[in-house]
Structure 1
Amino acid sequence: MLSCVYGYKASYPHDPLVGVMEIATEEMAEAALPANFYVNIIPWLKYVPSWFPGAGWKRKANEWRANKDRAFNEPFDWTKSQIAANLAAPSIVNNLLAKMANKEMRSQGNIEEEEDVIRWVAGTLLPAGSDTTVSSMSTFILAMILHPEIQTRVQKELDAVIGDRLPELEDRESLPYFEAVLKEIMRWRPVGPTGIPHVCSKDDTYKGFRIPKGAIIIPNIWAMSHDEAVYPNPQDFNPDRFLDLELPSAPVFGFGRRECSGSHFAQSNLFILASTLLCVFNVVATPGKPAPQAKTNTSSLITYPLPFDSTLVPRSESRRRLIQEWLEI
Structure 2
Amino acid sequence: MSLSEFDIIARYFAQATPGREDVVLGIGDDAAVIEPPAGQQLVVAIDTLVAGVHFPLDTEPYDIGWKALAVNLSDLAAMGAEPAWLTLALTLEHNDEDWLAAFSRGLADLAGQYGLQLVGGDTTRGPLTITVQVAGYLPPGQALTRQGAAPGDEIWVSGTLGDAALGLRLMQGELDASSSASEELCRRLNRPQPRLALGRALRGMASSCIDISDGLLADLGHLCAAADCGAGLQYADLPLSSAARQLIATDPGLGELPLIGGDDYELCFTAPASQHAAIRSLVTQLDCPLTCIGQIESEHGIRCQEQDGRTRNVSGHGYRHFNESN
Larger strand share, 1 or 2: 2
Query: Taking CA–CA contacts closer than 8 Å with sequence separation of 6 or more, which of the two structures ends up with the larger relative contact order?
Result: 2
Q: Please say which structure displays the higher CA radius of gyration.
A: 1
- Same structural fold, with TM-score higher than 0.5 when normalized by the shorter chain: no
Larger helix share, 1 or 2: 1
TM-score, length-normalised on structure 2?
0.24
